[in-house]
Amino acid sequence: MKAETTSTPSTSAFRQALNAWARSDGVMWIYLFKVLIAAGLTLWLAMRLQLPHPSSAVITVFIVMQPQSGQVFAKSVYRLLGTVAGLIAMLALVALFAQERVPFLVCMSVWIGLCTAGAMRYRDMRSYGCVLAGYTAALIGIPAVMSPEGAFMSAVMRVLAISLAIICSGIVSAALFPQTTGAAMRNALYNRFGTFAGYVADVLRGKLERHVVESGGVRYAAEAVGLENMRSATAFEDPHMRMRSGRLSRLNSEFMTMTTRLHALSRLLLRLRQRQADVVLSAFDMAQAAFLELLDSVRGQPLTPPDAAAVAERLSALSDHTRVRIREARASLLANAPSEEDRLDFETAAELLFRLVDDLHNYVQTHASLAAPHHVREQWKARFVAKANAMAATVAGVRTALMVLLLSLFWIMTAWPYGGMFASNAAAVAALASSSPMPHKTAQQMAIGAFFGVTVGFFMNFFVFTQLDGYWMLMFALAPVFMLGSFVALRPGYMGYGLGSMVFFCFTSIPDNPPVYDPSNFINNGIAVLLSMATTAAISSILLPPNSAWLWRRLERDLRRQVVRVTSDPLPGLSSRFESATRDLLNQAYGLANGRPQVQKALLGWTFTVQEVGQAIIELRQEQERLPAEPRFAEASPWRQSIRAMGRALARLFLKPSQTNLQRALTAVDQAIACVEAQREPYSQHFDESPLRRIQSFLHFIRTSLLDPHAPLAQYAAPSEPATGIAHAS
């Protein structure tokens, strides 16, 4: 009996450890074996079908295989579409310039440059399709310069090889221990709410340092971009998620709005704490007490659709309760005869709090609606808007086009027998690297990986493969290399090493049909590959690399221009476009500035200022759209004209920040506040029933944002300008 008692905890502990391993490293090892099975199946079928270059099919496996099946299906579809587009373009060029190498290579360079620019321009799977259209053209087109009569059959064989790899990868990914993108997305959504609820509670209580709040903003921005990519991928694998695609997009949009609202409120509370506005903070604590209790009750808990329905009911009741508590807190504040500045600060904070509760209510309602196959909340037209810099995309395209053209001319002028391999491989690597956040770094990693891949390939080709007999012995020899390369590619920050080693090991080492063992040819091809990789990495690092200051300044300018857009763009769907564009720009710029904390800090500062001011302008425009048709609310009324003048001043400020433009913007905001004050309803009317008081609170918030001593605009403030704002006449 004692032995059984002691063995039971041991068995339980072993099972817990096994389950923990299965959820962490076990998932990785399952994926590695799936890659090995997919590569082995593809290689066997390619050889059985007598494809001339089985290596093309195996390389495709390593490129399209992902831990989640939805990502595999999405990459496979866009790889096939991109390949077909590239082949059609190349066959057209071969038909036009079969006898003229120079015009052919010039047109091909232009095509590859356009595809590279497209890969940089788009921030979704279309980027991958552009990559494939570009480098397929290089791999097929450059060899066709020497033998145009074989271009068509080469194109057909490549489509067959890629199709075979796509089919094998998809079957293995979906059939063997499937890890679906839909399940990963559901898990992310379930866990996000509880974590975010705790974060909101800590932010409102002032428990978090400023840098922690800012890092949270970066994390949630990256999460929003990642969830949008997952939503796009789930459409390829899960019909249930496809039916809910509109609600998932809406959920992400509502979450972004909620994080912007929270950040605006947190920055306002931080400014109040810094100027020790204890009377305002005490009144605000009264208003938010019940909301904090609700957040604490769901802190850290997963949110399933049934749970979301229950939380939605609680938030619905809390909304009415919060309105009452805000009125009580306002009465308590007014009893202390606060200054005009304190009153406006409280009105603004209370309005942001009430809207935050409403945003959270909308979010959980949408989450609860996921339980139903069809729902009215599915009707959501706004979509995530990826925002890339046109100049950066143009520079990437021109850089790649010039590189391909120069290397092609070098090949022609030197008559190097392996110059075709040199030029085509450089074009392919440039296209592949262009879709990564740091193309020059990816090219450098792939160059180092290619060196190891070619070195191991030489040893395998002439010391191992010659001793083997049959497919199974070949796979037994290839398996360790495949597993090691795939393992390295999974490591964060090492993807380029693994991908480069696997692609060029397969390219130089997997036997053709029929196999040819020629050491001199292998060495010359290997030299061409390594030289092309080194050239691509060098050009990408020297010629306007993406992590240089010019791109940061461009992205920062694009970020500031979002304020200009919210003042003039059509109002329907504007909030969703604004939220997604600012987060995508932040995600890009923050990644490019990796290792440069001062640049990242400046980008964060501009992002948060843009989000604060931009969202306040959107709220102002929405509030004006809802105004009743009364003479005092007419378009030509002085207070509405002053708001339009303020919008123009803010646009000038964010287009070209300067001390003069900042002072003009502050003057315009003060003028708008004074004009609204002259038309404002009496204090006896409740705040939620007074549109002019709400408009005044947003104007005041814009002013405090412009005067924030920690914001980037503080460097343009006049030395005598107080950092905490001025009082306005009542």
Residue 93 has pLDDT above 70, yes or no: yes
Please give the pLDDT value at position 721: 47
Residue 375 forms part of a structural domain: no
Asked if residue 29 and residue 168 are part of one domain, the reply reads yes
Residue 382 forms part of a structural domain: no
Asked if residue 449 and residue 345 are part of one domain, the reply reads no
Share of the chain above pLDDT 70, in %: 92
Residue 18 has pLDDT above 60, yes or no: yes
Of 542, 569, 587, the residue that ends a domain is 542
Residue 724 forms part of a structural domain: no
Mean pLDDT (the chain) is 83
Closest among 345, 335, 354 to 277, alpha carbons compared: 345
The whole-angstrom separation of Cα 48 and Cα 41 is 11
Query: For 95-104, 344-353, 519-528, 602-611, which range has the lowest pLDDT when averaged over its residues?
Result: 95-104
Confidence of residue 654 (pLDDT cuts 50, 70, 90): very high
Asked if residue 249 and residue 269 are part of one domain, the reply reads yes
Confidence (pTM): 0.80
Share of the chain above pLDDT 90, in %: 11
Question: How many CA atoms within 13 Å lie on the side-chain side of 672?
Answer: 30
Residue 688 has pLDDT above 70, yes or no: no
Of 523, 542, 561, the residue that ends a domain is 542
Number of domains within the chain: 3
Of 526, 542, 558, the residue that ends a domain is 542
Asked if residue 443 and residue 553 are part of one domain, the reply reads no
Asked if residue 175 and residue 186 are part of one domain, the reply reads no
Residue 335 has pLDDT above 60, yes or no: yes
Residue 379 forms part of a structural domain: no
Please give the pLDDT value at position 147: 75
Q: Domain range spanning residue 528?
A: 25-179+387-542
Residue 13 forms part of a structural domain: no
Asked if residue 695 and residue 557 are part of one domain, the reply reads yes
Read off the CATH number of the domain in which 315 is found: 1.20.58
Closest among 572, 677, 553 to 621, alpha carbons compared: 572
The whole-angstrom separation of Cα 665 and Cα 704 is 12
Please give the pLDDT value at position 407: 86
Output the CA angle 409-410-414, nearest 5 degrees: 115
Residue 725 forms part of a structural domain: no
Cα dihedral value 255, 261, 262, 266, nearest 10: 160
Asked if residue 267 and residue 221 are part of one domain, the reply reads yes
Between 101-121 and 125-146, two packed helices, what is the crossing angle to 10 degrees? 170
Please give the pLDDT value at position 8: 56
Tell me what the mean pLDDT of segment 35-61 comes to: 91
Confidence of residue 690 (pLDDT cuts 50, 70, 90): confident
Residue 728 forms part of a structural domain: no
Asked if residue 514 and residue 586 are part of one domain, the reply reads no
Asked if residue 427 and residue 453 are part of one domain, the reply reads yes
The whole-angstrom separation of Cα 617 and Cα 624 is 11
Asked if residue 258 and residue 306 are part of one domain, the reply reads yes
Residue 528 forms part of a structural domain: yes
Asked if residue 266 and residue 158 are part of one domain, the reply reads no
The whole-angstrom separation of Cα 154 and Cα 408 is 20
CB 90 within 8 A of CB 144: yes
Residue 560 contacts by C-beta under 8 Å, 6 or more apart in sequence? Answer: 606, 610, 654, 655, 657
Residue 602 has pLDDT above 90, yes or no: no
Asked if residue 82 and residue 130 are part of one domain, the reply reads yes
Please give the pLDDT value at position 729: 31
Token readout for 171 is: 């079957």
